[in-house]
Amino acid sequence: MEPEHATPAPPAPPSASALPARSAEVARALAAAGVPGQVRRLDRSARTAAEAAEALRCDIGAIANSLVFLSGDEPVLVLTSGRHRVDTTALAARWGRPELRRATPEQVREATGQAIGGVAPVGHPRPLPTVVDEALTGHARIWAAAGTPHTVFPTTAGELLWLTGGRLLPVGPRAASEPA
């Protein structure tokens, strides 16, 4: 019998055939890349970072939100810590891109094949230019959505950079020492 104060382990990964189609696609992409983290189905929604952190019993900063923006007419992906919001003006300047604006739910689905609240960093019809929030490097293990609001997978900031070919940048407000 476990002590009352023990933190329950995250849910065990289901077999690939038991996963929703979008999550199975993410699982295949992870396996093809040789990433050891397996897709896990949650009993409750992880549509928001707060819901995911509660379901996984982890720090909200260890949740990697997958947010789709448009830079000009090009969809881009920002993987940000659940602890804070993206400063689109500061990030566009750091990234050397035109203005970033939030994609509509329809544009997100078109770019990723996935719905808002379950967008994974991988498993899209084509790779997207990606930024990985440098705040995610402060966590040994982070959790990312796996194609639906009820599926996630464990990973690291390094794996996300490698999987997406992304660029590590701060996504929050511009620091006083940064040029305007």
H-assigned helices in 69-155: 88-95, 105-112
Strand, coil or helix: what is 124? Answer: coil
Q: Cα separation of 148 and 69, whole Å?
A: 19
Single out the residue of 33, 42, 55 nearest to residue 14, CA to CA.
Answer: 42
pLDDT for 63: 97
- Phi-psi region at 34: left, alpha or beta (left = phi > 0; alpha = psi -120 to 50): left
pLDDT for 180: 58
pLDDT for 175: 62
pTM listed for this prediction? 0.86
CA atoms within 13 A on the CB side of 64: 35
Helix, strand, coil % over all residues of the chain, rounded to 5: 30, 20, 50
Backbone φ and ψ of 107, nearest 5°:
-65, -35
pLDDT for 21: 92
Helix (H) or strand (E) run with residue 23 in it = helix 21-32
Q: What is the pLDDT along the chain (180 residues), one digit of tens a residue?
A: 334 444 444 544 444 558 899 999 999 999 999 998 899 999 888 888 999 999 999 999 999 999 999 999 999 999 999 998 999 999 999 999 999 999 999 999 999 999 999 999 999 999 999 999 999 999 999 999 999 999 999 999 999 999 999 999 999 986 655 655
